[in-house]
């Protein structure tokens, strides 16, 4: 059975708290497992989430500040210990290659898994395969930092009632999908008559940035936008000083981008209660939720 959900393994920012781990986000999308910005303790958070780390086959690092990458080495070693047979693709800013190498080989172990590095040299399409198009967008944080946008390929969806009405059954369904048409009782039935094009879902993650055009572009029409909101608007001056955003600014980005749903994360340790973040953001973008550790959000097209 395919799974489509977002698990918040941690939602704290620079320092963890008693209740919030360093950030880490697992997107399970059918047969794929996308892990974003694994901070310290990510491996242990998988245990609390009751999810096997072996589901991960792609790891993304937005930038190489410690709270976004210090769990990378231990995750690779855990996957190595579990002897996963699938490749582990790692995406990260090329300017941080030295840090990636240090994290990957930060301790003695015999590497028996296939790790495929994807150092990203600039914005644009990072990879495109038969399932997804993955793009990187520049953010404004004082160091090279990318937002990631993952778009599912569009797909053909058949209308069962129309298939029945047109008499398209059995092997004819496969034929009409391949040839765009099929002969039924001497009449030609086209693919458009019995199906529609389903636009692929989009997931975007925007972490550690001032409000910028890159964040808006990455989040355009996103089905689900996971966005940092380190501060409340009353501390906007701190957000600006440290190159972060407020809940209000995150909501403004979601609104400008035409996103469908906004999940707030990456909260400063100064805040104990996350409800004010939702309240602040919802005044601008109603479909907003504050992430909390081990919270799971469904990810499916309505």
- Catalytic amino acids? 67
In 3D space, the residue among 63, 14, 54 whose CA is nearest the CA of residue 36 turns out to be: 63
DSSP 8-state code for residue 21: P
Please compute Rg for the chain using Cα positions. Answer: 21
> Which ranges of 95-135 would DSSP assign to H, the alpha helix?
97-104
Q: At what angle do helices 42-49 and 72-81 cross, to 10 degrees?
A: 60
Pairing of strands 296-298, 3-10: antiparallel
Contact 291, 281 (CB under 8 A): no
* Distance in angstroms (rounded) separating the CA atoms of residues 218 and 197: 23
Question: Tokens in use for 93?
Answer: 């800013």
* Residues 6, 227 contacting (CB under 8 angstroms): no
Query: Which residues lie across from 33 on neighbouring strands?
Result: 28
Query: Residue 143: helix, strand or coil by DSSP?
Result: coil
DSSP secondary structure letter of residue 94: G
Q: Are 235 and 276 in contact (CB under 8 A)?
A: no
97 phi and psi angles, rounded to 5 deg: -55, -40
Phi, psi of 276 (to 5 degrees): -60, -30
Q: Which stretches of the chain are DSSP H helices? A: 42-49, 72-81, 97-104, 160-166, 171-179, 191-194, 213-218, 236-241, 247-257, 275-282
Q: What are phi and psi of 15, to 5 degrees?
A: -130, 140
> Whole-angstrom Cα distance, residue 133 to residue 150?
6
């Amino acid at each position: 059975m395919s799974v489509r959900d977002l698990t918040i393994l941690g939602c704290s920012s620079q320092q963890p708290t008693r209740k919030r781990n360093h950030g880490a986000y697992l997107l399970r999308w059918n047969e794929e497992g996308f892990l974003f910005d694994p901070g310290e303790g990510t491996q242990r958070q998988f245990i609390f989430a009751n999810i096997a780390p072996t589901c991960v086959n792609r790891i993304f690092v937005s930038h190489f500040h410690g709270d976004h990458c210090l769990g990378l080495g231990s995750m690779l070693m855990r996957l190595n210990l579990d002897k996963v047979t699938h490749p582990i693709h790692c995406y990260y800013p090329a300017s941080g290659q030295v840090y990636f190498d240090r994290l990957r080989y930060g301790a003695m172990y015999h590497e028996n898994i296939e790790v495929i590095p994807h150092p990203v040299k600039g914005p644009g399409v990072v990879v495109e395969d038969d399932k997804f198009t993955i793009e990187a967008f520049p953010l404004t944080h004082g160091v090279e930092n990318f937002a990631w946008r993952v778009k599912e390929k569009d797909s053909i969806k058949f209308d069962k009632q129309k298939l029945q009405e047109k008499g398209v059954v059995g092997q004819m369904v496969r034929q009409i999908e391949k040839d765009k048409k099929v002969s039924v009782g001497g009449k030609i039935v086209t693919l458009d008559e019995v199906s529609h094009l389903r636009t692929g879902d989009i997931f975007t993650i925007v972490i550690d940035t001032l409000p910028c055009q890159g964040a808006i572009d990455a989040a355009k029409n996103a089905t689900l936008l996971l966005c940092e909101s380190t501060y409340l608007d009353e501390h906007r001056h701190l957000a600006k000083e440290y190159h972060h955003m407020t809940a209000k600014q995150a909501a403004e980005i979601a609104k400008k981008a035409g996103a469908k749903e906004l999940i707030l994360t990456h909260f400063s340790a100064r805040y104990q209660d996350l409800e004010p973040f939702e309240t602040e953001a919802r005044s601008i973008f109603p479909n907003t939720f504050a992430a909390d550790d081990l919270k799971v959000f469904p990810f499916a097209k309505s």
